[in-house]
Structure 1
Amino acid sequence: MDDDYNFLPHAINYQDAIFPDTQENRRIFSSLFQFSNCSSGNTFHSFSPEWEYQEDSRLLCSSVQQVLFEEEERVGRLQEHVAALQQKNEQLKARVGKLKRALRRARRSGRRKQLLQTAGQSLILMYT
């Protein structure tokens, strides 16, 4: 059964197109089929200059448009993910910067202590 509770025969995949979605095939089949999935009522389509404009507006219900919508949603999710990762990266850069500064300070204070100790020892040796 499909979403509208219609029985579907087995071994038929309604998602796969029988014919490729090309302008030539649309022109050929426009006079034969009404594209019932995309149109309301019982209007019959014939090829005319405004047919392409009408068909463009019907793309919202074609499989191509569905794929485009899914891809746009995927791109939106990926952009959100990238933004979150960039924010985390900035936070990590800030933490690394703080750690580098703390390490430099610790090294400086260690050198100063070492210099003071050696200077103090040399003064003690001089006066002894």
Structure 2
Amino acid sequence: MSSIVTALPDCLRSVERPGDFCVGGLREIFTPTIDVEGVGRIAFPLPEAQAERLVAVAEAAPHGRGEETVLDRDVRRTWQIDPRRIQIGGRSWETTLAELVTDAARGLGVEEPVAAEFYKLLVLPAFAAGAAVIAS
């Protein structure tokens, strides 16, 4: 048997880490409000007509292929909306987000300051006809 096959598990067992490699949990929160320029306030669950309006103001989302970023609609039928066109808020949203970020950092063992940054809104086609999913 190769020496790395026996040495690697021993080496990994000796690593001392302050946190877990993933964090999860449940928390009841007020649903945040999401307002999209050109669409208005997003309803939950997302109605088909509003999903169509989101797609109308969005652009095709690229995906990674190796080291390249490509746009291939046969691989990914997803749209993206720039975060500058979106406002997220609502009852206690800033406090709730700060608590979620703090809990995630603590669970991962991160002691340095951490911040959440909204990257973009994705609109994905759902498997059911006439439905869509939004993700960020």
The two structures have a TM-score, normalised by structure 2, of 0.17
Indicate the structure whose relative CO is greater, using CA pairs within 8 Å and at least 6 residues apart: 2
**Between structures 1 and 2, the one with greater helix share:** 1
Task: Please identify the structure whose Cα radius of gyration is greater.
Answer: 1
